[in-house]
Chain A
Amino acid sequence: MGWKELYLKEDWWAIWLGLGIVIVAYLFFASGSSIRWIAVTPSKWSSFDQLANDFVKKIPQYLAQFCMWLAIFSASMKILGHKLSEFIPSFIFVYVFSILIIILGAWKYASTYTLEPPLVALVLGMIISNFIGLPRWMDTGFRVEYYIKTGIVLLGATLPFTLVIWAGPTAIFQATIISVATFLTIFFVGRKLGIDPRLCATLGAGGAVCGVSAAIAVGGAVGAKKEDMPVAIALVVIWAIAMIFFLPLVSRMLGLPTGVAGAWIGSSEFADAAGFAAAQAYGGYAGQVAGITGTSEQSIQAFTLMKVVGRDIWLGIWAFVMAIIATTVWETKGGAKPHAGEIWWRFPKFVIGFMLASVIMTLIAANYTMADFNKEVVPVLVSPIKNLRTWAFAFCFFSIGLTTRFRELAAAGGKNFLAFSAGATLNVILGFLMSAVVFYQFWANLGQ
């Protein structure tokens, strides 16, 4: 594919869309205006009268925003080869439910009843997909990865690049220890149980690096059996969904600061989309649940540093190393030797957009004192971008639920389950020790 991936891969489209929004937002800001109007979200509410008044008043804004998302996603989906006759009705469905989910999250008592938008979106989606069912063609609009990657690029504009530079090395150090330990555990337990080494490597990457994306990258690199890929995918999905609920729940029981919980989730949740659901849910407890200190952004920031910077960016290297081992040790490959270019081509490119957005906002911030930045820039530039990020994440979390059909997942088999679970369990324990014991102060005070 080569450089055609600039318009044939979701990663690049997420960059174009995310950075496009950031640049447009800046142009409005520089001309004395703001994209605030179209980046609408519901106001906090505690009675139905308040909710109704706020919603009716903002209907034109919701319509305009819907048209904006529809236009930019439709154009890219068409180029990616999807039918707009399928995408458009499906996206309308996603948007309408996202409004309801975000409105519920704006309820004053939402956190009290654990009605955090990510968890509500996920559960609602899973109920619809597993108990009601939707036509298969509607999957065209349930683009989990596309939405989360777009959201991550937008997230970059709210995360100072100085923080990435300052906290990145610690995140990489912690994530590397956990990733290597998890991978080796899954691999060697799997081998001990007699599992094919290619499947062991695929399972190991899924549990140690970045979930299904790592599994498909390493699976292709080592030449996994066709029937083994759905097994790896099923194990990652089941564990990842369970962790979305488990990690915030235990963190809440332990009263972990948001930054610490975010780092733990970033260490122990496999998939970006699932992890952001858990981290955003926990961040929602900040200031709402007694005993939980920190800010909602700290949870997201710690998760992002640990997962995106600490784990995702190394995926190409994992795949390259595994390809070399497959070729030289397992002899499963043909005449093609692995080439180092694979490290770049398998690199999750959306991270570039995330970094660029962070750099752009940091350069803008450099012209202001902290007080002036918070007063003049945040309300008209940063907050609207953050609002649009909230929407992109809502589309993603609802889509995770809608595409997770448990009866369709492959039967994993006892040995595969055992090997993967051994690594996943170690991952959770090590992630907790590193985040909540070894680097507790670091993550608890992140960005302060």
Chain B
Amino acid sequence: MPTVQHKCLNCRHFRNDPQYLESVFKGMSSLSSGHASVRMDDGICKLREQYLSADFLCDGYLPFDATGN
């Protein structure tokens, strides 16, 4: 059972930096922004191929290694 520490925000599969999202979601910066408050910390899970809240929990959680990768 995944725990709160295992949320997407701390997972290696999850990417949510604004520039990355704007590059993946073409057109996003045309009428919105990766830096908008409304996005919170949402990002892309490369394992599940989903756009998710950073609070999402799942069994595919993979922590960052000691180098932060």
Q: Pick the contact of B50: A225, A233, A409 (CB < 8 A).
A: A225
For residue B18, which residues in chain A have a CB less than 8 angstroms away from its CB? 80-81
Q: Please, which residue of chain A has its CB at the minimum distance from the CB of B9?
A: A1
Q: Are B49 and A226 in contact (CB under 8 A)?
A: yes
Comparing A3-11, A285-293, A370-378, the segment that makes contact with chain B is A3-11
A212 touches B42 (CB 8 A): no
B49 → A minimal CB distance (Å): 5
Structural contact, B53 and A349, CB atoms closer than 8 A:
no
Contact status B33-A143, CB under 8 Å:
yes
Closest residue of chain A to B2, judged by CB?
A: A335
Q: Choose from A1, A229, A400, A404 the contact partner of B51 (Cβ within 8 Å).
A: A229
Partner of B31, one of A219, A223, A273: A273
Q: B64 at interface (Cβ–Cβ under 8 A)?
A: no
Interface of chain A, helix or strand or loop or mixed? helix
CA distance A229 to B52 in the complex (A): 11
Select which of A8, A145, A226, A227 is within 8 A of B32 by beta carbon.
A145
The residue from A335, A349, A403 contacting B37, defined by CB atoms under 8 A apart = A349
With known contacts A220-B52, A223-B50, A410-B26, A348–B36 Cβ distance under 8 A = yes
Is B27 touching A404 in the complex (CB atoms < 8 A)?
yes
User: Do the beta carbons of B37 and A346 come within 8 Å of each other?
Assistant: yes
The answer for the CA separation of A319 and B31 in the assembled complex, in Å, is: 19
**Mask of A1-39 contacts with B, CB within 8 angstroms, 1/0:** 100010011111000000000000000000000000000
Residues of B within 8 A of A (CB-CB), count = 38
Q: Count how many chain A residues have C-beta atoms less than 8 Å from C-beta atoms of the other chain.
A: 67
CB closest chain-A residue, reference B38? A217
Residues of A within 8 A of B24 (CB): 226, 230
Kindly report which residue of chain A lies nearest to residue B4, judged by CB atoms.
A336
- B34: shortest Cβ distance to chain A, in Å? 9
Chain B, residues 27-60, CB within 8 Å of chain A (1/0): the string is 1111111011111111111000111110111100
CB-CB under 8 A from A430, the residues of chain B are: none
Nearest neighbor of A319 in chain B, beta-carbon distance? B38
Known: A220-B39, A225-B50, A348-B38. A408 touches B31 (CB 8 A): no
Chain B residues with CB under 8 Å of A1's CB are 40-41
Q: Which of B7, B22, B30, B40 contacts A220 (CB 8 A)?
A: B40
0/1 interface trace, chain A 270-286, chain B, CB 8 Å (1 if under): 11011000000000000
Contacts of B42 in A (CB 8 A): 216-217, 219-221
A-B contact pairs, 27 of them (CB 8 A): A10-B37, A12-B37, A139-B29, A144-B29, A144-B33, A212-B27, A212-B32, A213-B39, A216-B39, A217-B40, A220-B39, A220-B51, A223-B51, A223-B52, A226-B50, A226-B51, A230-B27, A233-B25, A233-B27, A240-B31, A335-B2, A336-B53, A342-B40, A350-B37, A405-B26, A409-B26, A409-B27
